[in-house]
A = this chain, B = another copy of it.
Amino acid sequence: MRPLKVAVLGCGSVGSQVVRLLLEQAGDLAARVGAPIELAGVAVRRLDAPRDVDVPPDLLTTDAQGLVARDDVDVVVEVIGGIEPARGLILSALENGASVVTANKALLAEDGATLFEAAEKAGRDLYYEAAVAGAIPILRPLRESLAGDRVTKVMGIVNGTTNYILDKMDTQGSGFDEALAEAQELGYAEADPTADVEGFDAAAKAAILASLAFHSRVTASDVHREGISEVTAADVASAQAMGSVVKLLAIAELRSVAGGDDAVSARVHPVMIPRSHPLASVREAFNAVFVESEAAGQLMFYGRGAGGSPTASAVLGDLVTVARNVVAGTKGAGESAYADRAMLPMGETITRYHVSLDVADKAGVLAAVATAFADHGVSIQTVRQEGRDADAQLVVVSHEATDAQLAATVEALRGMDIVRDVTSVMRVEGELA
């Protein structure tokens, strides 16, 4: 069998590890693919930039477009990230007859449709396991292992930075700013942490997970997004008092709609989950994705969600699959969007709230608060009254209601004289103690 030629676009923390693994494991990869894998070239911005890995200098090029246009390239690995030039290069590669492996969550979540259609038209593979949860095999299980089942919910800790920050707030009692500063110092958060802490990164991954789980096209703009910058030490303390923990979750859920087909709710926001939930014990910058499906029940996938070497593992796994397909003269299953489900607006999504209130210590406070919930059609699961006098606190956990009903209830509570302050509002998943 002739050697397969691989072009790598980008040689940052992921790209350099992809190159390293390709070179170090050449023998094993050849045996697993059924043909040698050769590096055709590595496109970089600057030839003389410092790199983690020694790339043979004659393979480096600044002409990415020229590299993907070469007619001897079988597979293009895109690990540049961002929208352009990545999109243009991937489209050129596919048009030119190469299969593509990418880790580009932002591009897939914004404009996956264009890429999938180009791959379909070209009869080539487009694989992207590394785009969600780094090293953790989660897209392939959704695409293939669960293809005979009906997935109903996916909940993931898919952003290591925010999990690190929330974990520190939980274990050290620190506030958001302090935990963020620590994360930045240790390299878990970037100097401009917006993409992580405001949930943009997780929202892109939620869109990709929702698309695969529900066989529909879901983009980042379909995902309701709230970050963690407003999570306070008081929220975390409230969670601890409930035997729970605050996590930033990417949630993709199938929900029945009266008189219609099931619709998809895709959202990213902080959530209180009980400590007994498998996701609660995901510490530090680790990632995990929890899946519920009709026949399989509950599954969880856990591992490293970022980092050059873990992400490169996922890229290489895809590369072996794509290369095997090239050798066999075939391609894998393409996009599956046949179900074409509608999106459920956040306001219509069914959630549960945990609300902590500073209240006046007067007779009738509990009745008044309960009435505010009832007026919005929200029933209460538990109420806990704590402290007396100036410290009187009410902690309410609601039953399920639409998010709009719950948000309106909180608005009404804020306007009540007897409510001095709404100290914590947090959505809840799972059964709190």
Contacts and interface: CB of A to CB of B under 8 A. Distances in A.
Oligomeric state, in copies = 2
Contact of A317 (B146, B297, B312): B146
A307 B307 CA distance: 37
Interface stretch (A38-46, A333-341, A405-413): A333-341
A176 interface: no
Contacts of A281: 278, 281
A137 B145 contact: yes
A248 to B, nearest CB: 20
Contacts of A310: 295-297
Interface in A35-91: none
A292 to B, nearest CB: 10
A29 B298 CA distance: 21
Given A148-B29, A321-B144, A304 B296 contact: yes
Nearest to A30: B338
Interface string A311-333: 01111111111001000111101
A140 B135 contact: no
Interface of A: 17, 21, 25, 28-29, 31-32, 129, 135-137, 140-141, 144-150, 215, 278, 281, 293, 295-304, 307, 309-310, 312-321, 324, 328-331, 333, 336, 338-339
Name the 6 nearest CB pairs between A and B, nearest first: A148-B316, A137-B145, A135-B296, A295-B313, A296-B313, A330-B330
Given A140-B140, A297-B303, A297-B310, 10 more contacts: A25-B150, A32-B338, A141-B141, A144-B321, A147-B317, A148-B317, A148-B319, A149-B317, A295-B316, A299-B301
